[in-house]
């Protein structure tokens, strides 16, 4: 799917003085459906879900948005991109859409936005009911993450902006292929669409700022890991076992820490599980049997 085709599925909404790209599958035929909100990963966009959205929207009203600084959403150059701010924006968007009960799905960068939301939920600060939390490959336990060299360079306080200027499609292509289990499952055209959305509206000028999320995972470690340890929200952990960044040890530790969880493994799958093995991911999202796979 091209980025323009994806764009045609959504709309732009004004949220906290920023324009966000939002896809909402709500229509007259599914008004009674459960609502699933999706928090995408870094450095890509909601386009990551183009393979699973058609089937997922048969069971849920699905709401996806591009985080501020990502995809088609605004990319202001003189603001910070704290994960705290991203949580504020997500919650305000869902309020505007009138959501009262949600299933919360998060991947990669989105898992830290989700854990901030869970921290607030635990403290009874939210006017929304979280029916279920679904966590997929993200370096929540940042101390166990195997960061790529490009991530380390981009988050550097002084070098980051210069590395961003030098980053190009061949570098992006190489790094993306390296985090698939089977790189033949991603095409150059697919990667070009992802890259175009990173570059869209001056995106390369803010990507080093976005990469500061890694430092926040250390800064807010106690708050976010503590929130997962305390939560009573039913949680699914769906983990691609062959992710070279958010390694399997993270999922194993989360399964020990989160009180009410079930861990499902996806074998022979890398970091972008929704793109590499979408059918299996869908089966696990929709699975009602909470016996460990």
- Tell me if the bond preceding 43 is cis, omega within 30° of 0: yes
0.85 exceeded by pTM: yes
Residue 281 lies in a domain: yes
Q: What pLDDT, in 10s, does the model give residues 156-179?
A: 666 666 666 778 899 899 999 999
Provide the pLDDT for residue 31.
60
CATH number, residue 208:
3.40.50.1820
Question: Mean pLDDT across the chain, nearest whole number?
Answer: 92
Residue 291 lies in a domain: no
Q: Give backbone dihedrals phi and psi of 291, rounded to 5 degrees, phi first.
A: -85, 135
Provide the pLDDT for residue 147.
74
Provide the pLDDT for residue 293.
38
- Show the domain range for 187: 3-286
Residue 220 lies in a domain: yes
Total domains, the chain: 1
Q: What pLDDT, in 10s, does the model give residues 34-65?
A: 999 999 999 999 999 999 999 999 999 999 99
The number of residues making up the chain comes to 293
Neighbouring CB atoms inside 10 A of 199's CB total: 16
Residue 292 lies in a domain: no
Residue 256 lies in a domain: yes
Q: Which of 21, 68, 14 is nearest to 209 (CA)?
A: 68
User: What residues does 24 pair with on adjacent strands?
Assistant: 63
Residue 68 lies in a domain: yes
Q: What pLDDT, in 10s, does the model give residues 218-277?
A: 999 999 999 999 999 999 999 999 999 999 999 999 999 999 999 999 999 999 999 999
Residue 167 lies in a domain: yes
Structure token pair of residue 252: 């194993």
3-state secondary structure 56-110: HCCCEEEEEECCCCCCCCCCCCCCCCCHHHHHHHHHHHHHHCCCCEEEEEEECHH
Any residues with CB less than 8 A from the CB of 288 and at least 6 apart, and which? none
C-alpha pair distances (Å), 113 with each of 81, 158, 224: 12, 25, 9
Question: What is the crossing angle of helices 109-122 and 221-230, to 10°?
Answer: 60
Residue 293 lies in a domain: no
Q: What are the DSSP E strand ranges found in the chain?
A: 11-15, 18-24, 34-39, 60-65, 101-107, 129-136, 235-240, 261-266
Provide the pLDDT for residue 179.
94
Q: What pLDDT, in 10s, does the model give residues 94-138?
A: 999 999 999 999 999 999 999 999 999 999 999 999 999 999 999
């Amino acid at each position: 799917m091209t980025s323009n085709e994806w764009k045609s599925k959504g709309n732009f909404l004004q949220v906290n003085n920023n324009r966000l790209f939002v896809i909402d599958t709500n229509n007259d035929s599914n008004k009674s459906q459960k609502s699933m909100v999706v928090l995408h990963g870094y450095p890509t966009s909601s386009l990551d879900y183009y393979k699973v959205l058609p089937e997922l929207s048969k069971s849920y009203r699905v709401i996806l948005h591009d985080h501020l600084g990502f995809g088609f959403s605004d990319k202001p150059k003189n603001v910070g991109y704290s994960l705290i701010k991203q949580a504020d924006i997500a919650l305000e968007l869902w309020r505007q859409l009138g959501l009262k009960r949600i299933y919360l799905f998060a991947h990669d960068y989105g898992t830290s936005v989700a854990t901030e939301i869970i921290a607030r939920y635990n403290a009874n600060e939210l006017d929304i009911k979280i029916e279920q939390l679904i966590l997929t490959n993200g370096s929540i336990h940042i101390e166990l993450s195997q960061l790529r060299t490009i991530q380390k360079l981009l988050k550097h306080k002084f070098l980051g902006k210069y590395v961003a200027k030098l980053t190009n499609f061949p570098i992006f292509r190489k790094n993306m292929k390296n985090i698939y289990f089977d790189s033949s499952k991603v095409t150059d055209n697919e990667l070009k669409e992802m890259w175009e959305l990173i570059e869209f509206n001056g995106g390369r000028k803010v990507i080093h700022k976005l990469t500061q999320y890694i430092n926040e995972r250390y800064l807010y470690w106690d708050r976010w890991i503590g929130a997962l340890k305390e939560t009573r929200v039913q949680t699914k952990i769906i983990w691609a076992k062959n992710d070279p960044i958010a390694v399997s040890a993270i999922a194993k530790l989360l399964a020990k820490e989160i009180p009410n969880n079930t861990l499902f493994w996806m074998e022979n799958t890398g970091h972008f599980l929704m793109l590499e093995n979408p059918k299996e991911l869908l089966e696990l999202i929709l699975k009602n049997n909470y016996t460990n796979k």
